[in-house]
Chain A
Amino acid sequence: MNSTRKMPIWRILMQWEVILFFMFVAMIVVNSSLSPYFLDSNNILRTTFNFMEKAIIVLPMMFIIICGDIDISVAGIIALASSFMGLASQHLGVGTPALIFIGLLTGLSVGALNGLIITKIGVPAIAVTLAGFFLFRGIAYAMLGDMAVTTYPESFAYLGQGYIGNTRVPFELVVFIILAIIFGIVLHKTTYGLNLFAIGNNSTAARFFGINVNRIRFFNFALIGLLSGLASVLLTSRIGSTRPNIASGWELEIIVIVVLGGVSIFGGAGNILGVVISIFMVGLARFGMGLINVPGIVMNIVMGFLLLIAVLLPGSLRQLQSKILTKQQQR
């Protein structure tokens, strides 16, 4: 990365994060003009409940996509972890700490299993996690069938429904902010983060440089498993109920958010700032559409459209930039 100081103004303006920021502002302006209820701090804080669990999985998904991998089994992991928590709560009557442990452990184990198959056997991540997409939720259906588990201890509800002290700030939001800071530091200030970009740009070259590519990829999948487990704990606590169809369809929205955040779907490029803006942009856009009662199907069309923009635009921007750069250098 070149230092920002020397960047000419057009390069700053053409950075995806800056464009995204302006899109975010435009989204706020449009939404507040469409509904008088949009710009209300209580409403906005409360609506974060609806996308914080997704946001928590977006962070490790950013690592995975930067590395050139993908994981589409995350919502399946949520369902599986939630089912285990549900059965433990219903049949063993375990308390909140044990439930959290079961949720995290299930996620971590399943994620590590994905990682093992991908790195040791060398199957592409899309194939392995597609199998997981069907398998994990399938197991949840096999365990629960039409049954719903709704017997959770009362203290368990705080994690997903609670606020910090007497404020209107959701506990889930704070968990996300802390995680986002950690992920940002790891991505941009540590060797681990540097290695992620190196692998995504050219994994063969990265291997020649002595980076243990497979260990890092394995660690990424274990990590996304763990955080899917955490998301499962929070979501299960928030709705106080486990059904096998819990969180269905989330994997796509999570990937949309990551890619819209400027992480290249081909790997090798990405930025925590863009991803965080993207999380709030998508979450608040959904809220705004909800306020004017846009049907869910139209919301999905909008999401698909955003994804298309996100896949096409940053790539063409990069091409444009390099074209201009080479022209300048030729001069």
Chain B
Amino acid sequence: MKKLLMVLMAVILVVGMVSSGALAKVRIAMVVKNLGNAFFEACRDGGLEAIGLGEDIELIFRGPITPTAEGQIEIIDSLIAQKVEAIAISANDPTALVPIARTAMAAGIKVISFDSGIAEGGRILQLDPSGPEFIGRQQVQIIAEMIGYKGEIAILSATSQATNQNIWIGWMEEELKEPAYKDMKLVATVYGDDLSDKSYREAMGLFKSYPNLKGIISPTTVGVAATGKALEDEGLSGVIELTGLGLPSEMKQYILNGTCKKMALWNPIELGYSATYIAYKLVTGEIKGEVGEVMSVGKMGDITIGEGGTAVMAEPYVFDKSNIEKFAAIY
């Protein structure tokens, strides 16, 4: 038995030495919330596009089967062990990943988060797909273009306490103060509570209360789809214009039939591209990751690192007849 063990140990040692050849590639790992999620598969495609820029980069795409923090911890652990150069994470839990992310950074790995962030202290920077100002201003710009900068508009939001929506609406009001919009008037803001039936009824209420209504902005995926349905049911497609933040898969029919000619949301391909690009430039040292730094992120242009190490990628991506079919298949 002893001899056998000795032989085994020797075999293990030899095998271990033979296989420990150096790897010259920069390995960037993208850790997502879970596998089998089309949104993150699109992020991966964006990441692959980014690494296509250099021959010395490799993208490792990982994610747990169920979207748990412990599943991601196990994955990050194996990435630390194989000494990858950078990790970009969409976190299942902002605080639970801090200790393991710190371990990774202590081992010299560049850690960033994107989409769903890790708490400060657990990453160099967090990349948000978009920011409140981008979202609010863009929504007004889209509807204004649709109605020819003239007429009454209304907002159909989620709940009246919804933090995100309220900040976006604040920026919409800010944008409306610009002289270009002097002939437009925001007549009402109503709340569908992110419930399909309530949003539908609120939309109907808007049609009745404001017969001269020209456009509706619904910055919530539930609200914009319900409003699209209400417009169709009342035969108001094209009479009242609609835009908002919607899921391409849910909005496809309304975009194709002209009820909602344009709407916006984050583009996961661009997000994956930017996250991978930034991670790579952190490894090469071209990006430092300091607050206030302006990062040059390839085709996405300049992205500034703001307060709390949070960087806002771009304004939401606009979907219309030309691209909706492609994205409806993704998410």
Q: Contact: A43 with B81, CB < 8 Å?
A: yes
A32 at interface by CB-CB < 8 Å? yes
Q: Contact: A296 with B35, CB < 8 Å?
A: yes
Scan residues 41-92 of chain A and give those whose CB is less than 8 A from a CB of chain B. 43, 46-47, 49-50
Q: Contact: A25 with B19, CB < 8 Å?
A: no
B186 at interface by CB-CB < 8 Å? no
Scan residues 48-87 of chain B and give those whose CB is less than 8 A from a CB of chain A. 60, 62-71, 73-75, 77-83
Interface size class on chain B is: 35 or more
Q: Contact: A32 with B77, CB < 8 Å?
A: no
Docked CA distance A43–B82 (Å): 9
User: Given A239-B69, A243-B93, A291-B81: A36 and B21 within 8 A (CB)?
Assistant: yes
User: Given A29-B15, A35-B19, A36-B21: A49 and B77 within 8 A (CB)?
Assistant: yes
Q: Contact: A36 with B69, CB < 8 Å?
A: no
User: Given A239-B93, A245-B68, A293-B62: A39 and B16 within 8 A (CB)?
Assistant: yes
* CB neighbours of A43 from chain B (8 A): 81
A119 at interface by CB-CB < 8 Å? no
B6 at interface by CB-CB < 8 Å? no
Residue of B77, B81, B82 with highest tally of chain A CB at under 10 A: B81
Docked CA distance A100–B70 (Å): 20
User: Given A32-B19, A37-B82: A50 and B74 within 8 A (CB)?
Assistant: yes
Scan residues 1-54 of chain A and give those whose CB is less than 8 A from a CB of chain B. 25, 28-29, 32-40, 43, 46-47, 49-50
- Interface digits, A229-266 against B, CB 8 Å rule (1 contact, 0 not)? 00000010011110101111100000000000000000
Q: Contact: B15 with A33, CB < 8 Å?
A: yes
B188 at interface by CB-CB < 8 Å? no
Partner of B12, one of A39, A50, A243, A293: A39
Q: Contact: A240 with B65, CB < 8 Å?
A: no
User: Given A32-B15, A243-B93, A297-B35: A47 and B69 within 8 A (CB)?
Assistant: no
CB distance from A235 to the nearest CB of B (A): 7
Q: Contact: A296 with B21, CB < 8 Å?
A: no
Q: Contact: A35 with B82, CB < 8 Å?
A: yes
Docked CA distance A98–B21 (Å): 50
- Interface digits, B92-124 against A, CB 8 Å rule (1 contact, 0 not)? 111110110000000000000000000000000
CB distance from B113 to the nearest CB of A (A): 15
Residue of A nearest to B76 (CB): A290
> Interface residues of A, CB < 8 Å — how many?
41
Q: Contact: A36 with B96, CB < 8 Å?
A: no
User: Given A46-B81, A49-B77, A150-B96: A296 and B71 within 8 A (CB)?
Assistant: yes
Q: Contact: B99 with A249, CB < 8 Å?
A: no
A295 at interface by CB-CB < 8 Å? yes
Docked CA distance A245–B73 (Å): 15
* CB neighbours of A46 from chain B (8 A): 77, 80-81
Docked CA distance A50–B8 (Å): 27
B11 at interface by CB-CB < 8 Å? yes
User: Given A34-B19, A249-B66: A290 and B74 within 8 A (CB)?
Assistant: yes
Partner of B81, one of A34, A47, A286, A295: A47
CB distance from A19 to the nearest CB of B (A): 15
Q: Contact: B96 with A239, CB < 8 Å?
A: yes
Docked CA distance A247–B18 (Å): 38
Residue of B nearest to A283 (CB): B74
Docked CA distance A272–B288 (Å): 52
A161 at interface by CB-CB < 8 Å? yes
B20 at interface by CB-CB < 8 Å? yes
Docked CA distance A295–B65 (Å): 9
A308 at interface by CB-CB < 8 Å? no
CB distance from B48 to the nearest CB of A (A): 15
Docked CA distance A50–B76 (Å): 11
A300 at interface by CB-CB < 8 Å? yes
Q: Contact: B74 with A29, CB < 8 Å?
A: no
CB distance from B64 to the nearest CB of A (A): 6
Q: Contact: B75 with A295, CB < 8 Å?
A: no
Q: Contact: A245 with B77, CB < 8 Å?
A: no
Q: Contact: B19 with A247, CB < 8 Å?
A: no
* CB neighbours of B74 from chain A (8 A): 47, 50, 286, 290
User: Given A32-B19, A240-B99: A246 and B81 within 8 A (CB)?
Assistant: no
Shortest 4 CB-CB distances between A and B: which pairs?
Answer: A290-B78, A36-B20, A241-B96, A239-B96
A34-B19, A246-B70, A296-B62 are known contacts; what are 10 more A-B pairs with Cβ within 8 Å?
Answer: A25-B8, A36-B19, A38-B16, A46-B81, A148-B95, A239-B96, A240-B95, A246-B68, A290-B81, A296-B71
A sample of 13 inter-chain contacts (CB < 8 A) reads A29-B8, A33-B15, A33-B16, A37-B81, A43-B81, A49-B77, A50-B73, A239-B73, A243-B93, A247-B68, A290-B77, A291-B81, A296-B35
Interface residues of A (CB under 8 A from B): 25, 28-29, 32-40, 43, 46-47, 49-50, 148, 150, 157, 161, 235, 238-241, 243, 245-249, 286-287, 290-291, 293, 295-297, 300
